[in-house]
Amino acid sequence: ENAALADELQATLKQVEHQATTDALTGQLNRRALDALLHRCVGEAEHRSFRFSILMLDIDHFKRINDTHGHPVGDQALRAVAARVSAQLRAGDSCARYGGEEFFVLLPGASLAQACEIAERIRAALSHGALATNPPLVVTASVGVAEYTRGMQVEGVLAAADGAVYVAKRSGRNQVRSAGEAEI
């Protein structure tokens, strides 16, 4: 009887942990889980020879989807975008819904150039063909890329990727920009 209770408790704890780290809508990691992973990566990068990059992806004109088709279709679009992004990732990469229509991707071991290639692959996959939504929707995304450099805090690498997204948006959307890249 105690063994059965212990097994049930263990299963419940795993379920609670999953719920605490997963975005309920998309099934991707949530912001809390992303922050924990980033802190772990920064710690490894500071103490060992470890590099990583991040992508911030913002779906272009997402408000129009909700305003035109309603929030249930917007939710379908978010799930479909998450699936397309995840399909482009390497083993060991992590995707997280950061909030609203923003996603972050953590790319362990990736240089800025490698991260830009992955970001471009994701951007192209999103804009190529309609999403599995009802009605089918074509979306684009602006993607910002940043590589962690020694001494940066988590907030710094997030801000660098966020700044690159704004450059992509101001430069016409549906493009990849890297941190520190001049605006057109």
Active site residues: 101
Residue 29 near residue 21, CB atoms below 8 Å:
yes
Residue 157 near residue 54, CB atoms below 8 Å:
yes
Please say whether the dihedral angle defined by the alpha carbons of residues 65, 87, 97 and 20, taken in this order, is positive or negative.
Answer: positive
Hey, which residues does 99 pair with through a beta bridge? 102
Residue 104 near residue 98, CB atoms below 8 Å:
yes
Q: Is 28 helix (H, G, I), strand (E, B) or coil?
A: coil
97, 177, 95: which is closest to 144 by C-alpha? 177
Residue 54 has a CB neighbour count (10 Å cut-off) of 29
CA 157 to CA 131: how far, in whole Å? Answer: 30
Whats the size of the chain, residue-wise? Answer: 184
